[in-house]
Structure 1
Amino acid sequence: MGTDIHGFVECLDEDDRLWTAAIDIDLLYHGRNYDAFGCLFGMRNFAGFRPLAEDRGLPEDASERVRAQFADWGSDGHSPTWISWAEIERVDWSEPAERVDERIHEYRRTEDGWVMTGKRAWDGRVAEVTGLTVVRDPGRLFRYEAHDWPEGTEWPDGDDLRYRIGRINRRDAISPDGEWKPVWTVMDTLAGLYGAENVRLTVWFDC
Structure 2
Amino acid sequence: MAQIYGAVEFRIEDEWHDVINVSSLLLQHYDLNGCLFGVDNYADFVPLFAGRGVPEDCSENLKQKVFTYLDDESWPSWVLYSELACIDWDERAVSRDYRISEYVVYGDGKEKFVTKWLNRLEHDWVREALETELEVRSGDRVFRRPVLRRADAIPDTEFGLLMKLMGCLADRFGVDGVRLVVWFG
- 1:65 paired with 2:52, answer no
Paired residues of 2:103 and 2:113 also in contact (CA < 8 A): yes
Distance 2:99 2:17 in 1: 39
Distance 1:91 1:8 in 2: 20
1:93 equivalent in alignment to 2:93: no
Q: Report the CA distance between 1:106 and its aligned residue.
A: 1.0
Question: 2:92, 2:5 → 1: CA distance?
Answer: 26
Distance 1:114 1:106 in 2: 10
Equivalence for 1:21: 18
Q: Does residue 155 in structure 1 map to residue 136 in structure 2?
A: yes
Give the structure 2 partner of residue 169 of structure 1: 149
Residue 112 of structure 1 and its aligned partner are, at CA, apart by 6.2
CA RMSD for the aligned pairs? 2.0
Contact 1:77–1:204 (CA<8 Å) still a contact in 2?
no
* Pair 1:11-2:13 in alignment: no
For residues 74 and 3 of structure 2, the distance between their equivalents in structure 1, rounded to whole angstroms, comes to: 11
Paired-residue identity, %: 34
Which structure 1 residue ranges, 4+ long, deviate > 6 Å from structure 2? none
Quote the residue 1:83 is aligned against. 79
Tell me the CA shift for residue 174 of structure 1. Answer: 1.3
Q: Distance in 1 between matches of 2:30 and 2:153?
A: 8
Other-structure match for 2:177: 198
The offset of 1:124, in angstroms, is 2.1
Code of the aligned partner of 1:161: R
Q: Do the aligned partners of residues 112 and 181 (structure 1) sit closer, same or farther apart at CA in structure 2, a change above 3 Å counting? A: farther
Which residue of the partner structure matches residue 38 of structure 2? 42
Deviation at 1:95?
Answer: 0.9
Letter in 2 for 1:21: D
After TM superposition, the score normalised by the length of structure 2 is 0.90
Tell me by how many angstroms 1:131 deviates.
3.4
**Is the CA contact (8 Å cut-off) linking 2:70 and 2:183 kept in structure 1?**
no
Cα deviation, residue 114, structure 1: 2.2
Change (3 A) 1:129 1:50: closer
Cα separation, 2, equivalents of 1:49 and 1:42 = 7
3-state SS in 2 of match to 1:196: coil
Q: Paired residue for 2:158, among 172, 179, 189?
A: 179
- Counterpart of 2:168 in 1: which secondary structure? helix
2:94 aligned with 1:114: no
